[in-house]
C-alpha cells in the first residue's frame, strides 16, 4: 500500500514537472488584452505583465534602413520594404492609436521588462535587403545589450542560415517553414523547429519524438484551441506560441 502511494506521488510529481516545462510565447504580443494591438509596444507590456516567457514580433527593413515592427508586408497601403521611414512609415498608426513602432523603440520597452523577445525576420522580396535586415537587427539588439534575452525565428531559410552564422554564440534560432526534417535542422545548428501545429498534428507526428531525441527544442504556432494546447502540453514541447496566453497560463497552472 505504502509503495503504491509512493509510486502515485512520484507519477504525480513527474506529470506536474512535465507540465511546468512548457513555456508561453505570446504571438505578436498579448494583443487581445483590452486597448492593445498586434505588434504594439503595449502588446509586449501585456505579455510581460502576465508573466509570459516570450513575446513575439515581426520585423521589416524600410528602404532607408530602419527596422520596423509589423506583420504584413504593407500597412494601410504602405509597402514597408520599399517605403521610407522618414517619409511614409513614421506617421502610421496602429488600430489602438499607438504609432507603428521601430525595433529600436521596441527594444527600449523590452529593456524595462522581464519577458524575452522573439524576433521574426520577415521574408523580404530582395534577399540582399533581407540579409541587411538580419544584420541591422543583430546590431540593434547588441546596442541595447539584449543579446541574452532575444531569440530569432524566420520562414526564410536564407535568413535562418544568416542568423545562425552571424548571431553571437548561444543565440537560439528557430526555423518556421515546416519543410526541414529534424536531422536537417540539427545539421545547420538551429535551436529547433518553430512549426505550425498541423505539422505535428497531422503531417509529421513522428517528428516530435525525433526532435527531442536529437536534443532540439520544439516551438509550435499558433495554438489557440484548448484541445490542441492540451495536446502539446502533454507532449512536453518546450514552447507554445499562442494568441491566448492567459488561457494557456491557466492550463499550465502558472
- Contact in structure between 120 and 58 (CB atoms under 8 Å): yes
Task: Give Cα 195 to chain centroid, integer Å.
Answer: 11
Taking the complex as a whole, the smallest distance from the CB of residue 43 to Mg ion amounts, in Å, to 12
Specify the residue, 48 or 120, whose C-beta has the smaller distance to Mg ion.
120
Taking the complex as a whole, the smallest distance from the CB of residue 213 to Mg ion amounts, in Å, to 28
Residue 120 binds Mg ion, judged by CB under 5 A: yes
Residue 58 binds Mg ion, judged by CB under 5 A: yes
Residue nearest to Mg ion as judged by C-beta position: 120
Specify the residue, 125 or 213, whose C-beta has the smaller distance to Mg ion.
125
Residue 194 binds Mg ion, judged by CB under 5 A: no
Give the separation between CA 30 and CA 90, rounded to whole angstroms: 23
Q: By CB under 5 A, which span of 80-88, 120-128, 194-202, 211-219 interacts with Mg ion? A: 120-128
- Beta strands per DSSP E along the chain: 23-26, 54-61, 67-69, 74-75, 78-79, 116-121, 150-154, 173-175, 192-196, 219-221, 239-242
Q: By CB under 5 A, which span of 106-114, 118-126, 180-188, 224-232 interacts with Mg ion? A: 118-126
Specify the residue, 91 or 198, whose C-beta has the smaller distance to Mg ion.
198
Determine how β-strand 74-75 pairs with β-strand 78-79: antiparallel
Residue 151 binds Mg ion, judged by CB under 5 A: no
Residue 172 C-alpha cell reads as 537560439
> How far, in Å, are 32, 42, 70, 92, 102 from residue 98 at the CA level?
15, 9, 13, 9, 12
- Contact in structure between 39 and 57 (CB atoms under 8 Å): yes
Which residues, 6 or more positions from 127, have their beta carbon under 8 angstroms from its beta carbon?
Answer: 158
Q: By CB under 5 A, which span of 43-51, 84-92, 115-123, 182-190 interacts with Mg ion? A: 115-123
Taking the complex as a whole, the smallest distance from the CB of residue 58 to Mg ion amounts, in Å, to 4
Q: By CB under 5 A, which span of 114-122, 136-144, 177-185, 199-207 interacts with Mg ion? A: 114-122
What is the binding site for Mg ion (CB under 5 A)?
Answer: 58, 120
Amino acid at each position: 500500500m505504502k509503495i503504491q502511494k509512493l509510486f502515485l506521488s512520484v507519477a504525480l510529481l513527474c506529470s506536474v514537472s512535465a507540465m511546468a516545462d512548457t513555456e508561453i510565447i505570446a504571438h505578436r504580443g498579448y494583443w487581445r488584452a483590452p486597448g492593445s494591438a498586434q505588434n504594439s509596444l503595449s502588446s509586449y507590456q501585456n505579455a510581460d505583465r502576465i508573466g509570459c516567457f516570450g513575446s513575439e514580433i515581426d520585423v521589416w527593413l524600410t528602404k532607408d534602413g530602419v527596422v520596423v515592427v509589423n506583420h504584413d508586408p504593407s500597412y494601410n497601403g504602405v509597402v514597408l520594404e520599399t517605403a521610407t521611414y522618414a517619409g511614409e512609415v513614421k506617421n502610421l498608426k496602429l488600430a489602438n492609436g499607438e504609432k507603428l513602432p521601430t525595433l529600436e523603440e521596441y527594444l527600449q520597452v523590452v529593456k524595462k521588462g522581464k519577458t524575452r523577445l522573439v524576433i521574426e525576420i520577415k521574408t523580404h522580396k530582395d534577399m540582399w535587403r533581407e540579409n541587411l535586415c538580419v544584420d541591422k537587427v543583430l546590431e540593434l539588439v547588441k546596442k541595447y545589450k539584449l543579446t541574452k534575452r532575444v531569440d530569432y525565428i524566420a520562414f526564410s531559410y536564407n535568413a535562418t542560415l544568416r542568423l545562425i552564422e552571424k548571431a553571437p554564440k548561444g543565440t537560439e534560432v528557430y526555423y518556421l517553414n515546416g519543410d526541414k526534417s529534424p536531422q536537417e535542422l540539427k545539421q545547420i545548428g538551429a535551436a529547433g523547429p518553430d512549426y505550425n501545429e498541423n505539422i505535428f498534428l497531422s503531417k509529421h507526428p513522428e517528428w516530435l519524438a525525433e526532435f527531442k531525441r536529437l536534443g532540439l527544442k520544439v516551438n509550435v504556432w499558433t495554438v489557440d484551441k484548448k484541445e490542441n494546447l492540451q495536446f502539446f502540453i502533454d507532449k512536453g514541447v518546450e514552447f507554445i506560441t499562442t494568441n491566448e496566453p492567459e488561457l494557456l497560463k491557466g492550463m499550465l497552472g502558472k
